[in-house]
């Protein structure tokens, strides 16, 4: 039985992962001022980050339409879909609606939509898990069961360099952001079991925050030798590489991958931000 993976564009991938999973990405869109950008390979992330920094308002994001997903569901393959958390976006609902529309015409088609309860490299890890199980020739129902268990256990954290976008989103007051900047406070955020985002810790000083980010793996992770650590960076590859090196000194993951954030992830991570999932 042929199978394929579809994911929204918040699933951050590099060329190696694209080739390994053959994942088909469905782009979200981003509106900055009066300009609308499609979150695909045509988006210049570095230029977009500069424009975002200059703009006083947070960019508006929009999920793909059901038709966008319908186009990706075509073909004879069974389809596994990975979306960013339903608590953060309407993308999951759009993908499910597209599934229902498709199955009205093709009742025998297998389509399953996974709510990753995460974003960015969390989605990437889910896609890699699906790909691994496909290559091991598991049946569709077995893949669904195992991937749901994987999602439930997965942890996601991100460390921000700046509070600018949280201020623009109205989640942090400008005064707090200013004080945080003066005191060099770095917020560390975490994904919840329900797929929303919470403030995990506020750490003073970049070095201390970096250390805490590393320590959280031990505090929240289990059986690391059986897992992949995913690291997504927003225009800060050197920081991601340094983090990988520190992790390798302390933990023994099965593998560690590094990807650059695409448009949607960059809106929320902002320049200098790191996202990890394991």
Among 274, 272, 221, 277, which residue's Cα sits nearest to residue 251?
221
Same domain, 36 and 135: yes
More confident residue, 86 or 165: 86
- Overall average pLDDT of the 42-61 stretch: 92
Q: Which residues of 96-105 are buried (b: 16+ CB within 10 A; e: fewer)?
A: bbbbeebeee
The answer to whether the beta carbons of residues 36 and 73 sit under 8 Å apart is no
Q: What is the SS3 assignment for 113?
A: strand
Same domain, 140 and 117: yes
Same domain, 192 and 271: yes
| Residue 124, H or E segment | helix 121-135
Residue 170 has pLDDT above 70, yes or no: no
Residue 201: strand pairing partners: 188
Per-residue pLDDT of 123-168, as tens digits, reads 999 999 999 999 999 999 999 999 999 999 999 999 988 777 766 7
- Overall average pLDDT of the 3-17 stretch: 98
Last residue of a domain, one of 137, 153, 169: 153
Last residue of a domain, one of 136, 153, 170: 153
- Number of compact structural domains in the chain: 2
Residue 172 has pLDDT above 70, yes or no: no
What pLDDT score was predicted for residue 198? Answer: 86
Q: What percent of the chain has pLDDT over 90?
A: 81
Residue 268 has pLDDT above 90, yes or no: no
Residue 105 has pLDDT above 80, yes or no: yes
What pLDDT score was predicted for residue 179? Answer: 66
Domain that holds residue 235: 156-277
Same domain, 50 and 134: yes
Residue with tokens 């991570």: 269
Residue 228 has pLDDT above 80, yes or no: yes
pTM of the model: 0.94
CA gap 55, 152 in Å, rounded: 37
Alpha carbon separation from 222 to 146, 227, 247, 276 (Å, rounded): 17, 9, 14, 15
Same domain, 173 and 161: yes
Confidence of residue 255 (pLDDT cuts 50, 70, 90): very high
Same domain, 44 and 132: yes
Same domain, 97 and 198: no
CA gap 170, 176 in Å, rounded: 12
What pLDDT score was predicted for residue 71? Answer: 97
- Overall average pLDDT of the 77-102 stretch: 97
Q: Which CATH number do you get for residue 207?
A: 3.30.1180.10
Residue 275 has pLDDT above 80, yes or no: yes
Residue with tokens 């406070």: 185
Same domain, 12 and 131: yes
């Amino acid at each position: 039985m042929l199978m394929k993976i579809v994911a929204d564009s918040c699933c951050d991938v590099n060329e190696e992962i694209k080739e390994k999973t053959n994942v088909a990405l469905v782009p979200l869109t981003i509106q900055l001022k009066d300009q609308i950008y499609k979150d695909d390979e045509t988006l210049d992330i570095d230029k977009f980050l500069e424009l975002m920094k200059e703009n006083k308002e947070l960019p508006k994001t929009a999920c793909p339409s059901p038709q966008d997903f319908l186009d990706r569901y075509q073909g004879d393959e069974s389809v596994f879909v990975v979306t960013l958390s339903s608590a953060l976006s309407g993308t999951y609902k759009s993908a499910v609606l597209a599934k229902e529309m498709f199955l009205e015409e093709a009742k025998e088609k297998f389509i399953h939509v996974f709510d990753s309860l995460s974003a960015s490299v969390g989605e990437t890890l889910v896609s890699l898990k699906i790909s691994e199980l496909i290559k091991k020739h598991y049946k569709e129902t077995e893949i669904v069961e195992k991937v749901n268990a994987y999602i439930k256990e997965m942890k996601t954290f991100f460390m921000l360099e700046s509070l600018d976008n949280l201020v623009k989103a109205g989640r942090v007051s400008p005064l707090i952001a200013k004080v945080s900047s003066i005191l060099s406070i770095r917020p560390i955020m975490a994904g919840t079991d329900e797929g929303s985002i919470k403030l995990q810790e506020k750490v003073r000083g970049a070095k201390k925050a970096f250390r805490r980010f590393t320590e959280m793996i031990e505090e929240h992770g289990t059986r690391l030798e059986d897992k992949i650590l995913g690291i997504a960076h927003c225009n800060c590859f050197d920081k991601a590489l340094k983090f990988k090196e520190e992790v390798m000194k302390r933990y023994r993951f099965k593998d560690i991958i590094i990807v650059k954030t695409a448009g949607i992830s960059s809106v929320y991570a902002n320049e200098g931000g790191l996202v990890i999932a394991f």
